[in-house]
Amino acid sequence: MATIRLAAILTLSLTACYSWHAEPVRPLEAVAEAQPAQIRVTTADGMVVAIDSPAVHNDSIVGTTGEGTLRLAIDDISGLEVRRESAGKSLLLFLGIISGAAALGAATIYLTANWTAGN
């Protein structure tokens, strides 16, 4: 039982669910206050870019993408989303894992009891 509990705790902590949350039109304040690990920015021309390790420098947001360092002026940003951990989704994932483990354990006990009784 302790092994199942440990596995559930590790699974929950390592696979926490995340979702994107739209921020108000003040991207500089959102990035400076929340200090998120990743943001998703929509530019004025409609391009969507995921930026890792974003930081505020003067009137721009600077961070890294898969292609290198990116600097976007605040005037070029039409929308911003911050990636945050979703406690509700993580809880549902955890409950699903526990339910699956319980069903597997019950099936194993049932099949073992019937196999032994049949022989």
101-115 residue pLDDT tens:
888 888 888 888 877
Question: pLDDT band for position 64 (50/70/90)?
Answer: very high
CA gap 40, 22 in Å, rounded: 9
CATH number of 2-118: 2.30.30.100
CA gap 99, 92 in Å, rounded: 10
C-alpha torsion angle, residues 75, 81, 82, 84 (rounded to 10): 170
| pTM listed for this prediction | 0.52
Question: What is the DSSP secondary structure assignment for residue 15, as one 8-state letter?
Answer: S
Give the residue carrying structure tokens 């951990």.
85
Closest CA to 5 of 103, 108, 94, 92: 94
Burial letters 36-53, b for 16+ CB under 10 A, else e: bebbbbeeeeeeebbbee
Please state the separation of Cα 11 from the chain's center in Å. 13
pLDDT: which is higher, 23 or 67: 67
**What token pair was written down for 24?**
């108000």
The mean pLDDT of 28-42, rounded to a whole number, is: 78
Give the residue carrying structure tokens 């890792």.
52
